[in-house]
Amino acid sequence: MTLHGNVGAHRCCGPLARGLVLLLGLVLSPLAPAAPTSWVGTVTHVSDGDTLWVRPQRGGAPRAVRLDGIDAPELCQAYGETARAALVGRVLGQAVQVRVRRHDDYGRALARLSLRGQDVGGWLVSQGHAWSYRYRGHAGPYARQESQARAHRLGLFRQAHAEQPREFRRRHGSCH
């Protein structure tokens, strides 16, 4: 059959038939249903300064959440344990609003977290526990908070040359 013959054969099916095939494919798809983009849950564990686990209020197992827009020191890096302790003190056992932007390569939800209406990532950066995540020359979503924390020499910005986690991982690898 020629290429034109295939195209003509495909055209014989009307929009209704193509729609039914698409619907059938979705119903039979082995993929898990898409998670809602916003949900409420309780923080059950804090892995490090920018990764935690949240159990959805509606039930189910805790989910890994990576705070979007920040980069906290690695646990084995200077100030890493302090950054983790700050996040533990702020959110562990608390009900939070999770707004998922996407999932990363490790399956974690990249999300903004709110605690009683306050952005947790913004709070971490404003207290000097993390950097605003930089990407392709952009200063990141919390650049203003980082600038203020630097000006007041808060947290990790007390160090004259605090090393960003990206550079630390490049030079030393990950902590694990």
One digit per residue, the tens of pLDDT, for the chain of length 176 reads 444 444 444 444 455 444 443 443 443 444 444 555 999 999 999 999 999 999 999 999 999 999 999 999 999 999 999 999 999 999 999 999 999 999 999 999 999 999 999 999 999 999 999 999 988 888 899 999 999 999 999 999 999 889 999 999 999 988 86
Residue 165 near residue 77, CB atoms below 8 Å? yes
* Predicted local confidence at residue 5, as pLDDT: 43
* Predicted local confidence at residue 28, as pLDDT: 41
Q: How far apart are CA 13 and CA 19, in angstroms?
A: 10
Residue 164 structure tokens = 């960003």
* Predicted local confidence at residue 7, as pLDDT: 42
Domain 38-172 has CATH 1.10.3720.10: no
* Predicted local confidence at residue 34, as pLDDT: 54
Q: Kindly list the domain boundaries of the chain, sorted by start residue.
A: 1-31, 38-172
How does 74-93 read in b/e, with b if 16+ C-beta sit within 10 Å? beebebbeebbebbeebbee
Active-site residues, by number, are: 66, 74, 108
Nearest CA to 90 out of 123, 133, 54 is that of 123
